Amino acid sequence: MSEPGEGAPQSLDDSSRLQHLQPLDQAVNERACSSVLTDIARFPQRVTGVLVADGLMDEFDPNPRSATGIGITEMARIVPDGNYCAPIVNDVHDRFHIDRRVTPDEAAGFVVAFALDGMDHVRSRTLEAAQEMNIDVPDEIRDTEVRKKGPAGSHITVANINKPVAFALHDFLTRSPDLRTIVAAKIKSEADTIRADSRAQQTRAQEKGRMHAAHRDL
């Protein structure tokens, strides 16, 4: 296994934890929520988590033209406004013919759930890449998901976000640039495949619509 300085950083120190536990300011929180809602609007299904993960990895080495400022530590502190999210989620359901209306609490839970999917996807690919590269992973990350398990049947809320694990994951990747590059490439490849498949599906749907219109005109 690698030495700690080469890829197995220690857990966050207390001062770093305290810094990351500070609540997000309103503008950053709104950007975090909007970034998840944008992915939901395009891909309202489980693969949304892969796209969220792709955005989170981009923030380690941001492109100034597309940077959102929303990384893992920001996403871990997200507090969605259900009254703002519900109309957006319901509009997405209408456009994709999903027969379900959501309440503000449920809409906020959707945003948190996909944010958790994104963070845990980063964690999963990090564990996978670390094993391939023979790099030690801190116990806190290896043994625990970012998503806390709640009571059976309960709605997902911000209380389900295991912030210490998210912060430790961010710190580990920050101190492990070679590992981070591999993790980012894995997730980027998955996200690009999802986007390409979606574009192909949209093209097929448009062609089908044009064919139906042409038959009606005959």
Distances (CA, A) of 20 to 24, 33, 76, 171: 9, 18, 9, 11
Task: Report the phi/psi class of residue 7: left, alpha or beta, with left for phi > 0 and alpha for psi in -120 to 50.
Answer: left
Instruction: Reply yes or no on whether the pLDDT at 64 is more than 70.
Output: no
CA distances from 139 to 96, 103, 172, 213 (A): 41, 38, 11, 59
What pLDDT band is residue 12 in, cutting at 50, 70 and 90? low
CA dist 149 and 152 (Å) reads 9
Euclidean distance between CA atoms 194 and 146, whole angstroms? 23
Amino acid making up residue 189 = S
Residue 89 backbone dihedrals phi, psi, to 5 degrees = -65, -40
**For the segment 126-160, what is each residue's pLDDT rounded down to a tens digit?**
999 999 999 999 999 999 999 998 887 788 999 99
Percent with pLDDT over 70 in the chain: 78
Q: pLDDT category, 5, cuts 50, 70, 90? A: very low
Does residue 216 have a pLDDT over 70? no
CB atoms within 10 A of CB 31: 15
94-118: per-residue pLDDT in tens? 988 889 999 999 999 999 999 999 9
Report DSSP letters for 112-177, one per residue: HHHHHHHHHHHHHHHHHHHHHHT----HHHHH--SBPP-STTPPP-GGGB-HHHHHHHHHHHHT-H
For residues 5-26, average pLDDT? 60
pLDDT of residue 27: 93
Residues in the chain: 218
Q: How confident is the model at residue 62 (pLDDT cuts 50, 70, 90)?
A: confident
d(CA 33, CA 18): 23
Q: Quick one: how far is CA 199 from the chain centroid?
A: 21
**Of 69, 169, 153, 59, the residue nearest 109 (C-alpha):** 153
